[in-house]
Chains A and B, each alone.
Chain A
Amino acid sequence: MEHESAGQQSTSHGQIAIVTEAFDPWIELSTYEKSHLTAGHYGAAATFVGTMRDFNEGDNVSAMELEHYPGMTDAQLQAIIDEAQAKWPLDSALIIHRVGRIVPGEPIVLVACWSAHRAAAFDACRHLMEALKSRAPFWKKETLNDQSHRWVEKNTDGYSAP
């Protein structure tokens, strides 16, 4: 990636990046596939892109500040990938997460998994995203339209949320 990075780790089967500038998840996916995957070796790629909304808890949101714990966040994301690698036969996994000031419409997170078959790719991608939401130390502070600020207090459980 060519943008500003707050942390990046790469292993033979996965990569995590914490970035401080807006990123295009589709360009990142294409670039990563070309540099880390072997064409013909995988049959399934599952991806999740989380994007900032302009509303939350019934209020209009104009911006958000995303904070993380340098070092621990990187280690947690890498541990989450390692767990998924142990549980599913993945060719590779990629997590990119934004930090800093972000505005509605911008991507916050990209999670992608490549495998020979769709079941592992789908299941591992979902697992990575839910594990990230519940365990990776990131925090969001919203700016509402009236310029007041508030911390997002907790993430919902994605397996039981509507």
Chain B
Amino acid sequence: MSIKVKCFASMREYLDLSELEIEPGGVKNVADVWLQVAGDKPMPDNTLCAVNQTQADHSFIVGDGDEVAFFPPVTGG
């Protein structure tokens, strides 16, 4: 099992990362997932997060089998 991480739009370019699976060990919440995939790069202030395709905040608890996404403000329509 693992945690699937997805990045969209300018966030994908910022992290040079579209999709990645990480080991859940040591990961408690969304903020921990960011540290795993972004390393030293700070999270931009306007970053939005989703867990299992529902918007979530940085303290949202995640674990095995979850899908975590990072993306900028939405600009559709």
Residues on A lying within 8 angstroms of B by beta carbon are 50, 66-69, 71-72, 75, 97, 108-109, 129, 132-141, 151-155
| Closest B residue, CB atoms, query A150 | B10
CA distance A68 to B77 in the complex (A): 11
Q: How far is the CA of A1 from the CA of B3 in the complex (A)?
A: 36
Some 14 contacts from A to B, beta carbons below 8 A apart, are A50-B77, A66-B76, A67-B8, A69-B50, A69-B71, A72-B53, A108-B76, A129-B77, A137-B76, A138-B76, A139-B71, A141-B9, A155-B73, A155-B75
Given contacts A72-B50, A72-B53, A75-B53, A154 and B73 within 8 Å (CB-CB): yes
CB-based nearest B residue for A109: B77
Asked if A151 meets B9 with Cβ closer than 8 Å, knowing A69-B53, A71-B53, the reply is yes
Contacts A69-B6, A139-B9, A151-B10 hold; do A132 and B77 have CB atoms under 8 A apart?
Answer: yes
Residue of A nearest to B10 (CB): A151
CB-defined contacts of A72 to chain B, threshold 8 Å: 50, 53-54, 69
CB–CB A109/B73 < 8 A: no
Interface residue B72 (Cβ < 8 Å from any Cβ of A): yes
Chain B residue at minimal CB-CB distance from A149: B13
Whether B76 lies near A133 (C-beta < 8 A) is yes
Cα A97 to Cα B10 with chains together (Å): 20
Interface centre among B10, B71, B73, B75 (most CB of A within 10 A): B75
CA distance A106 to B77 in the complex (A): 12
